[in-house]
Amino acid sequence: MTKILITGGTGYLGRNLCNQLLTSNHQVTILSRNINSPIVSSLEEKGVLFFRGNTEDFNSLKPMVSEKFDVIFHFAANLNMDGDKDALFNINVKGTKNMLKLANKSSAAKFIFASSIEAMGPVSERDIFADETYGCSPVNNYGESKLEAEKIITANNSGFKSIIFRIGNVYGPDGRNFIYPIIASIERKNILFRALPLIASRYLSFIFIEDVIRGLLCSLSDIPSETYILTGDEQLPFGKIYDLCAQLLGKDTHDYKILDKDFNKSELLGKNALLDYILSDDGNLKIHRAYSNDKIKRKAGFRAKVDLRTGIKKTIEFFYKKGILPIYKKGFKGFIKKILENL
């Protein structure tokens, strides 16, 4: 039985990975600051062990040294793209240093780090589908902190294997970062909708949560200690992703194309988190987030199994069933149910 430690194990990635690991009879322990939550209780009922600790404070990690974990998945992070730089580096960089120290002292065999495509930064049109050899130029504080953490891991000379995954834009049931704000925009025609003429051509690198977990699990096999881009196969301009969401909701997908206002980027910032993210660039030609997953396919045997249409449909169904779709709240329950049943 493999002893596995997950930091950030109650987050979106962590709990999905945890649930999958449990199906393979691994012994899973989660490091968490807060061990009094419904998520913790649910995982404890499934046999997950918990340690209260803080990755920023190595003293709080010392009780785990004697546990001798075989594998450490380090997911704990501050995800605020343009948050305070000191706060981001304290968690994302100092926390990584401490977890590497724990991995060394506990004689771990593998250290798996959840980095981000933000460590690379956006690319120009001519570099679309950039691979791991592409020069890194992050455009936000979060990306800078992830890149710095990568450098520390790569420079580590301890005896365990270190694997870095640069993960794309994760979406799926219960994930609120990408599909949910698009759905809200389609219904409300908010600032994200009105900005479509400006952002429709910008590529995003989506990957469904189940495929992310498949990629992460590749690290448990004998793959090289390297950095891998972990994204889906369908990386499309945002306008096409928006259209697909609208089609699945039975909405007109071309309304925005008649808008002719010449939007100024500065007047749009700070009003919508997804819009802020899409607009974050180098101020010049690097405006696309589109990367190649060829390396992880070639060296780890990874295959994305959920196409974008299916993944978005599953995500919409989840929000519908939970009653948290904006359109659900506005009296369109029967309409959405009919759409979903006919897909």
Query: What would the pLDDT profile of 71-90 be if each residue is shown by its tens digit?
Result: 999 999 999 998 999 999 99
What's the mean per-residue pLDDT of the chain? 90
- Higher-confidence residue: 8 or 325? 8
CB burial of residue 298 (10 Å; 0-12, 13-18, 19+): exposed
Residue the block writes with tokens 């301009």: 237
Radius of gyration of the chain (CA): 20
Question: Is the model's pLDDT at 256 over the cut of 60?
Answer: no
Contact partners, residue 162, CB within 8 Å, separation at least 6 = 110, 111, 112, 113, 153, 154, 156, 225
Question: Is the model's pLDDT at 110 over the cut of 60?
Answer: yes
Question: Is the model's pLDDT at 8 over the cut of 90?
Answer: yes
Task: Read off the amino acid at residue 302.
Answer: F
Domain boundaries along the sequence of the chain: 3-173+206-230
- Cross-strand pairs, 73: 6, 112
The confidence score (pLDDT) of residue 326 equals 56
The confidence score (pLDDT) of residue 331 equals 44
The confidence score (pLDDT) of residue 322 equals 82
Helices 308-322, 333-341: axis angle to 10 degrees equals 150
- pTM to 2 decimal places: 0.93
* Assigned fold of 3-173+206-230: Rossmann fold (3.40.50)
Secondary structure of residue 231 in the 3-state scheme:
coil
**What CA–CA distance (Å, rounded) separates 167 from 185?**
25
Question: Is the model's pLDDT at 234 over the cut of 60?
Answer: yes
The confidence score (pLDDT) of residue 324 equals 75
Query: By mean pLDDT, which of 31-40, 97-106, 317-326 is the weakest?
Result: 317-326
Question: Is the model's pLDDT at 281 over the cut of 70?
Answer: yes
**What CA–CA distance (Å, rounded) separates 184 from 190?**
8
Q: Residue range 122-142: average pLDDT?
A: 97
Of 206, 210, 199, whose CA–CA distance to 179 is shortest? 206
The confidence score (pLDDT) of residue 262 equals 61
**What CA–CA distance (Å, rounded) separates 95 from 50?**
18
Q: Half-sphere exposure of residue 244, counting CA atoms within 13 Å on the CB side?
A: 19
pLDDT band at 159 (very low <50, low <70, confident <90, very high): confident
Contact partners, residue 267, CB within 8 Å, separation at least 6 = none
Q: Which phi and psi angles does 86 have, rounded to 5°?
A: -65, -40
Please, which contacts does 9-12 make with residues 24 or more away whose CB atoms are closer than 8 Å? 9/43, 9/48, 9/73, 9/75, 10/34, 10/37, 10/39, 10/40, 10/43, 11/75, 11/76, 12/170, 12/174, 12/175, 12/209
pLDDT band at 21 (very low <50, low <70, confident <90, very high): very high
For the ranges 138-142, 244-248, 281-285, the maximum mean pLDDT occurs at 138-142
